[in-house]
A and B are shown apart, each in its own frame.
Chain A
Amino acid sequence: MVVAESQQGLVAMAAALTLAGSALATAWAEKVIGAASVGALAEKPELFGRVLPLVVIPETIVIFGLIIAFLLLGQLG
């Protein structure tokens, strides 16, 4: 399915919004987790290995956004 030329801008905007929204979501989630993790690390530095994966877990959200953005851009043909 290739989108009509007049509609292509909308598809591009949709891709941009997808990425922006998921990036914001990631940032917000990491902010909350990051602050809590630093608090935990201040008390128990040896938790670093456990905390690092928790902090980067939300990174996946923006990756989903990226994939969807590319699927949308694929519609441009």
Chain B
Amino acid sequence: MARALIVGPRDELEHAIDALYGLKLLHIVDHREGEHGLEIGTPLREASEASEVLVKLRSIASVLQIEEPRTPPEADVSGDLREKILSLELNISEEDAAKKKIQALLADLSRRIDEMTPFAGLPLALGDYRGYETLEVLVGKTARDVEDLESGLREFEAFAAPGFLALFVPKANAQAARDYLAQHGFSPVAVPDGDGEPRALLAELTSEKDRWATRLEEIETRLDTLRERYADFLVAAKARLEVQVEKAEAPLRFAVTEHSFVVEGWVPAETFPRLRDALSAFPSVHLAELETDAHGSDPPVLLRNARLLRPFEMLVKLFSTPGYKEIDPTFIVAIGFPIFFGIMIGDAGYGAAWLGFGLFLLRKVKEPGAFRDLIIAITWGGFFALLFGLFFFGEAFGVPFHAPHAAPGETLTRAEEVTWSLILGFDIPLHATIEKLHQVPDFIVLSIAASYVHLAAAYTIGFFNEVGHSKKHAVAKAGWLLILTGIFVILMVRSSRWPGTMGYTIWNGGLGWFPRASTLIPLSSQQSLGFFPGNAIPDVAVLLAVGGIVVLLATEGGLAIMEVFGMIANMISYARLAAVGVAKAAMAFAFNVIALEVGIFPYLDTGDVVALILGAVVLVLFHLIIFLLGAVSAAIQSIRLNYVEFFIKFFKGSGTLFRPFGERAKPEV
């Protein structure tokens, strides 16, 4: 970013604003009133009028419930907008007022109809319910019919309709009657005002309501017509007015003197010449590049990633915009998020389903934005889930490709024995490296390995972030990396005890080059921790960890040592990859067994087609649940690993996003 300073005479202000707005290159730094002895500018003449019309326009748009498409429609918005919009507002505000009045009236009528309806069931006029000196009238709803009034009350006359009761009792007995009725679920109702037959009154009210409802419909039709006619115009006019207002109010962000104006802002360094060329059209406007102070200034940030990675910027920005001097971590998130998602789903069936569903959604959601970015991220996740499901976990929809190794003495039910090789009738050439339900410890070891790669990337980025800033902090990051490596190696050695396990594969495969000599820690004390000769703690790992701790002590002080435990906790935290993966696989397996045993196999033998279809529907529903639930938890946990374990190691954020003058603001997340 280069800091640009533009100075010119006030007569050129309007032209300069137009030019800058059209260029979309300059991120304006707002001038503060009184800074350097300069005042802020005043808005251009048309500002107040344009914003007034804009307010009216927004109110019209809200009355007409016009939804704004992302791309402004083509409509003729030339000429005097003010006149058009004011006359339209007059028209619409009348209709809107009438509509609101009728709506209030209708609500009132509905309430009165509700009150009147129960009285229409009784053969009494409204006047009959009041005006007695010696009688009390109890009217109300009854939860159940009160049949044995005779047994509970003396001296009364009752009129009853289903769920409704009017009771006339002498005043002296009123309290007793009230108590008795209360016990039978009676809730009193007020008698509506007025006189006359409730039935006739009800009919009158209903017809009045119908009349007003018709009026309301008419008004709504008229508003609909207006909406159809003016929607495009209003949206386009709004866009034009917003531009006008933004331009007209721009001087508020500038510094001015009596005869000149000053604009300061940031321009991406490589586009600076373009700005210079464009402004050379105004001979009296001068552009200068200011020197920037490496520490004091805070330039905005323009994230630049390959097209493929760009959707993942959303995940980073959701946390915080990277600072100007930080490495944008998008590229690691773009790899880490879908891979973690893929490991947690780890099922060819769900992976293919999410890949397909994501691609389908992408065809539907064309507007760029956070939602589309999220879909892209999940689609990539689905792709990796498919890969992991096919080549690593060997299962689809919770059904393994091949029969798992049953524990000795275990007998499997028919549903538990189902495999894809059995269903498809040929031997699938892909074998599971980890059978999720049977090799959980292996899965956890894999997760720890993933934690090493991810956290090592975090410390490496942290190192490069700090190196230009503070050598001491950079060295500390390197120390962390040493400790991480040492602990990781020790964990792998400990888990590599038996051949065929994941730990064994990693220790003797990927880490086969690691020096294995073990002399520093006596074997006897190692053995109590589960290490044994031939598989002992390597000296180099111990030296790495201790060396890292020494580096930490020298750079960050003693308190940082406590953080080492935090780092180990972070490594274990990656076991959620295994936890979510296994939980999802176990759910799918359980649902499969239930559906197959109860809904499919019994009818497969009897040949009951209807029951079979029903069973299949249940099976599909079950899988739909896992499809959604699994993806929600996998996505959240994957984001969490990036935000908590990964970002906290190095990411400071709180940068400002580069927003050039002239770019219409897009709604962010």
Contact = CB atoms under 8 A, between A and B. Distances in A.
Answer yes or no: do A and B interact. Answer: yes
Interface of A: 46, 48-50, 52-53, 56-57, 59-60, 62-64, 66-67, 70, 74
B166 to A, nearest CB: 49
B572 A67 contact: yes
Nearest to B320: A49
Given A53-B643, A59-B640, A67-B444, 6 more contacts: A49-B319, A50-B319, A56-B644, A59-B576, A60-B576, A74-B441
Contacts of A52: 318, 636, 639-640, 643
A66 B637 contact: no
B477 to A, nearest CB: 21
B572 A63 contact: yes
B344 to A, nearest CB: 13
Contacts, number: 50
A62 B639 CA distance: 18
Contacts of A56: 636-637, 640, 644
Nearest to B317: A49
B549 interface: no
Nearest to B316: A49
B569 A60 contact: yes
Contacts of A53: 319, 640, 643-644, 647
B440 interface: yes
Top 7 A-B residue pairs of the complex, sorted by shortest distance between their CB atoms: A49-B318, A53-B643, A56-B640, A49-B319, A60-B573, A53-B644, A63-B575
Contacts of A66: 575, 579
Contacts of B644: 53, 56-57
B640 A70 contact: no
A-side interface mostly: helix
A64 B320 contact: no
A6 to B, nearest CB: 19
A48 B575 CA distance: 25
A59 B637 contact: yes
Contacts of A46: 668
Contacts of A63: 572-573, 575-576, 579
Contact of A49 (B441, B569, B669): B669
B443 to A, nearest CB: 10
A59 B569 CA distance: 12
Nearest to B640: A56
B340 to A, nearest CB: 14
Given A59-B576, A64-B572, A70-B441, A48 B640 contact: no
Nearest to A49: B318
Contacts of B637: 56, 59
A32 B296 CA distance: 40
29 contacts: A46-B668, A48-B318, A48-B669, A49-B317, A49-B318, A49-B643, A49-B669, A50-B319, A50-B320, A52-B318, A52-B636, A52-B639, A52-B643, A53-B319, A53-B644, A56-B636, A56-B637, A56-B644, A59-B576, A59-B637, A60-B573, A60-B576, A62-B579, A63-B573, A63-B579, A64-B569, A66-B579, A67-B575, A74-B441
